[in-house]
Amino acid sequence: MKKIKLTAYITALCAILGLHASAQAHVYASNRDAGKYVALTFDDGPHPIYTEKILSILKENNAKATFFVIGKNAESYPELVLAEFNDGHEIGNHTYSHPDMKKLSVESIIEEIEKTQDIVYDITGKKPEIFRSPCGVYSDELVEAIENIGCKPILWSWRQDTKDWTLPSVKSIVKTVTENIQDGDIILFHDYNKKGSPTPEALEIILPKLAEKGYSFITVSELLKIKRGEIKNETAA
């Protein structure tokens, strides 16, 4: 892999994951110009139980979110992808099979991404405009290839990794998110999870708490569009 300059964030992330991820250009982890807006993101779904629960909590709290779906799961539960889309949430691409990114060539990864673009298009009539790599692994070559198929590569804000897939307590997820929140954060959750996922219960606490702090919840693409000093047009939040 070509040696390139790494951002502090990527370096920290790689250290945590023990991966040789790279690339800094055009990989989005927040938008610090966004003011009191944040993006809730849910990876790996749809899931037959948790996705629906999360959708109903989002609705109750007037929150829009982003679902980075795995193509294979979208094929299994197209009605859930459609429900996400119809509720005004954004659908992002998270590969077809959630492969070990270190073992695949960029060509094979792009095949996975394009297959998932088509699956989501067949369900919703719209191709995803954002992609999140499994475990956040990016190389310069992959970033370029993703941009060439019309997607923005996305990460998450490094203090906003809830690690909910490890089944921590509800309290610890709430603490991670609410105590570290910053304007324009991209928050990482998973809607596909093992039995006993604490995510829905944590969300029920987090959403009102953040709303109390003045935050509104918009999709990743909306968040990235906000420019400094601009007030977002209230359509989705």
Q: Where are the alpha helices (DSSP H) in the chain?
A: 8-17, 50-60, 71-76, 78-86, 106-124, 140-148, 170-180, 199-212, 220-225
* Residue that the structure tokens 């610090």 belong to: 32
Catalytic hit among 20, 43, 47, 94: 43
DSSP class of 30: B
CA distance 219 to 224: 9
Nearer to Zn ion, 164 or 185 (CB): 164
Nearer to Zn ion, 44 or 90 (CB): 44
Q: How far is the CB of 230 from Zn ion (least distance, A)?
A: 31
Nearer to Zn ion, 134 or 153 (CB): 134
Catalytic hit among 47, 89, 94, 190: 190
The two tokens of residue 222 are 């909306």
The two tokens of residue 131 are 């992609």
Residue 190 is among the residues annotated as catalytic for this protein: yes
The two tokens of residue 141 are 């070559």
User: Which residues make up the interface to Zn ion (CB under 5 A)?
Assistant: 43-44, 134
Beta partners for residue 68, in sequence order: 43, 92
Q: How far is the CB of 166 from Zn ion (least distance, A)?
A: 13
The answer to whether 139 and 1 have CB atoms below 8 angstroms apart is yes
Q: How far is the CB of 44 from Zn ion (least distance, A)?
A: 4
Nearer to Zn ion, 43 or 222 (CB): 43
Q: How far is the CB of 212 from Zn ion (least distance, A)?
A: 30
**Shortest Cβ contact with Zn ion: which residue?**
43
Contacts of 15 (CB under 8 A, 6+ apart): none
Residue 43 is among the residues annotated as catalytic for this protein: yes
Q: Which residues are catalytic?
A: 43, 190
